[in-house]
Amino acid sequence: MKMINQNASLKGSSITINYLLSASFRYCSIIIFLFCSLTTWAQPRYSPEVRSKKEIQWLKDSLQINDAQLNKISAISLSYQQDMDKAANQPDKKKRQAKLMKKMDAEMKTILDHGQYIRYYNREELIRKQDARVYKGHQPM
């Protein structure tokens, strides 16, 4: 009889250990999942200079802009990115940013030729639609 009781108590403890391990595994998995999902939402905010350089690089690669266009666009892009950062800290930021986007589009239209501008505008429109999905309430221009 003693042997059966010892086996039963060992069997019970192994079930408890397995349960605890599986429960702790589940909790650890949930914590890791939550941590990973939070870190993916927290994307870095690049400086205006970095954002401007990335935009100019895309323009050079995709639109084959010439040196005269590049000089004009570089100044406009940096100013635009700096103004967007300033507008982001204002209470009416959506209106200010929308106004800046329209201004940037108008300036780009004067610098780029028709084909370049169409490609530029289509890209901007796509980015704004994606932002509208991510940041609900913002309407693309």
How confident is the model over 102-133, as pLDDT tens digits? 999 999 999 999 999 999 999 988 888 887 66
Which residue would you say has higher pLDDT here, 48 or 17?
A: 48
- pLDDT of residue 90 exceeding 90, the answer is no
How confident is the model over 65-78, as pLDDT tens digits? 999 999 999 999 99
Three-state DSSP string of 74-102: HHHHHHHHHHHHHHHCCCCHHHHHHHHHH
Contact partners, residue 57, CB within 8 Å, separation at least 6? none
3-state SS, residue 141: coil
**pTM score of the predicted model:** 0.60
pLDDT of residue 70: 92
Which residue would you say has higher pLDDT here, 58 or 11?
A: 58
